[in-house]
Structure 1
Amino acid sequence: MNYTLAQDELEGKVILVTGAGDGIGRQAAINYAQHGATVILLGRTVSKLEAVYDEIETLTGRQAAIVPLDLQGATKQHYLDMAETIEGQFGQLDGLLHNASLLGTLGPFHQQDEALFDELMQVNVKSQFLMTQALLPLLKKAPAGRLIFTSSTVGHDGRAYWGNYSISKFATEGMMQVIADEYSNTALRTNAINPGGTRTKMRATAFPGEDPQTLKTPTDIMPLYLYLMSPNCDENGQCIDAQPKK
């Protein structure tokens, strides 16, 4: 599918991006701002968020907002407070991109560590569960609310040695489908993206012997991220591959 958007497609929108400090999250935040949105940058490393903030301001003249938050330690109250702050400061929230994830340790299922399992589920699943619950009232009030989760190829089909990460992405897709179905009769559209093999630090960790130059960059896959966040998106309850097999 060819995803093309007008330059002002997201004008007046307020969009929150998690894991916005680098990789796909960073590029999505920049692209949303370039198409007119006010972007809220969420991540755990302030210096990285500040660098993205500066880049957005340089490229667009727009000022983003920064929310430093470690999803590993965040509680339900953190997300409720964040929702209150967003409503107080911006008066709206039109879109949420759940991009932040941990890879964990790849290896045989019987060797998967319980503590690492809990850590991965906390960041990849529970934090998204709690954050979405807190922000749904704002997203429902938006004229064209958009909620995007991030899955993986191993979230479609379980793969040997991908253990906890694969399990977490199955859970992510399930959560997306439940929300999409519950709000199918509203203006809220909920979908997931499978980025595919992309030139990021997480990919390099999973495939250390791979030549990164053979992979698409985060910029290359942005058209889908923009489309699913736009008011023109009709899809709901879908997990779409950013790099569909030919």
Structure 2
Amino acid sequence: MIEQYPHLDFQITERSLIDKVILVTGAGDGIGKVAALTFAKAGATVILLGRTVAKLEAVYDDIVAKGYPAPSIVPLDLLGAKASDYEGLASTIEDQYKRLDGVLLNASLLGNLCPFGQIKEKEFADVMQVNVNSQFLLVNALLPLIKQTKLASVVFTTSSVGRKGRAFWGTYSISKFATEGMMQVLADEYKSSSVRFNCINPGATRTNMRAKAYPAENPESLKKPEDIMNTYVYLMSDISRGVSGQSLDCQVKK
């Protein structure tokens, strides 16, 4: 019988991502931070992208202290970054590493949870800038480098509200519908190549964003980011070759 959820049963080892170069956005905190540490532990050289230098430096120090491959730091505010910034990043990665095996597009803004008619124009624009526009610009800049890399993997971050709209989640929900669509377009365009594009839905996880959305929720009832990393490493590893155009849930009742 074919395993229905191979990503949930994937076992991470110290060689799961050996010698891979992986860019992680939003790497200074939450799921991005844990993913960066997990990728490094699995053998990858991680490029840490985020807007807060102090947080990125703390992740950098943690990775180095543990004896994992030394990462790089890229301070970049996705809210204000322009196409030229992403093109410069792509050029720097190519100069330093000559390749890029994986990209985890993790950084997102939640926005305010409110009725659709109360969504502010600036807030809508800011969420779209970080959650959609920046990803479009970043992937476009990185595509030439990604296409040169054997078995490259690009992973977007989605949500259950990016599959079925939910009242009061308008801005975030719309941004995640766009994320799913972007991934599907890319996966279809590159279906004959070795490059794969997928989405990952972390589910209810103990993060600051979750706490903002559900302030009355007991965080102890939620899984920690460390508990869902098998899906992240699975999609970055060569074992998931051929898996593209999928939107995988980290938390599924089997």
Normalising to structure 1: TM-score of the pair?
0.98
CA contact (8 A) 1:33 1:60 kept: no
Q: Deviations over 1:147-195 (max 9, x none)?
A: 0000001001000000100000000000000001100111101100010
CA contact (8 A) 2:78 2:129 kept: yes
Secondary structure (helix, strand or coil) at the match of 1:148 reads strand
Residue among 29, 33, 41 paired with 2:48: 41
- Match of residue 78 from structure 1: 85
- Match of residue 189 from structure 2: 182
Does 1:241 pair with 2:245?
no
CA contact (8 A) 2:49 2:75 kept: yes
CA contact (8 A) 2:45 2:71 kept: yes
Secondary structure (helix, strand or coil) at the match of 1:232 reads helix
Residues in 2 aligned to 1:12 and 1:144: alpha-carbon distance in whole angstroms: 13
- Match of residue 121 from structure 1: 128
Secondary structure (helix, strand or coil) at the match of 2:64 reads helix
- Displacement of 1:3 in angstroms is 1.3
- Match of residue 133 from structure 1: 140
Q: Deviations over 1:126-158 (max 9, x none)?
A: 000000000011111111100000000100100
- After the TM superposition, which residues 166-205 of structure 1 pair with which residues of structure 2 at under 5 Å, given as runs? 166-205=173-212
What number of residue pairs does the alignment pair up? 246
Residue among 94, 99, 103 paired with 1:96: 103
> How many percent of aligned residue pairs carry the same amino acid?
58
CA contact (8 A) 2:19 2:45 kept: yes
Q: Gapped runs of 5+ residues in structure 2?
A: none
- Displacement of 1:76 in angstroms is 0.3
- Displacement of 1:7 in angstroms is 2.1
- Match of residue 164 from structure 1: 171
Matched AA of 1:213: E
- Displacement of 1:6 in angstroms is 3.6
Matched AA of 2:54: S
Moved more, 2-11 or 209-218: 2-11
- Displacement of 1:4 in angstroms is 1.9
Indicate the RMSD between aligned Cα atoms, in angstroms: 0.8
- Match of residue 34 from structure 2: 27
- Match of residue 232 from structure 1: 239
- Displacement of 1:245 in angstroms is 3.7
Q: Deviations over 1:43-77 (max 9, x none)?
A: 00000000000111112342110000000000000
Residues in 1 aligned to 2:214 and 2:99: alpha-carbon distance in whole angstroms: 40
Does 1:9 pair with 2:27?
no
Normalising to structure 2: TM-score of the pair?
0.95
- Match of residue 223 from structure 2: 216
Residues in 2 aligned to 1:203 and 1:142: alpha-carbon distance in whole angstroms: 35
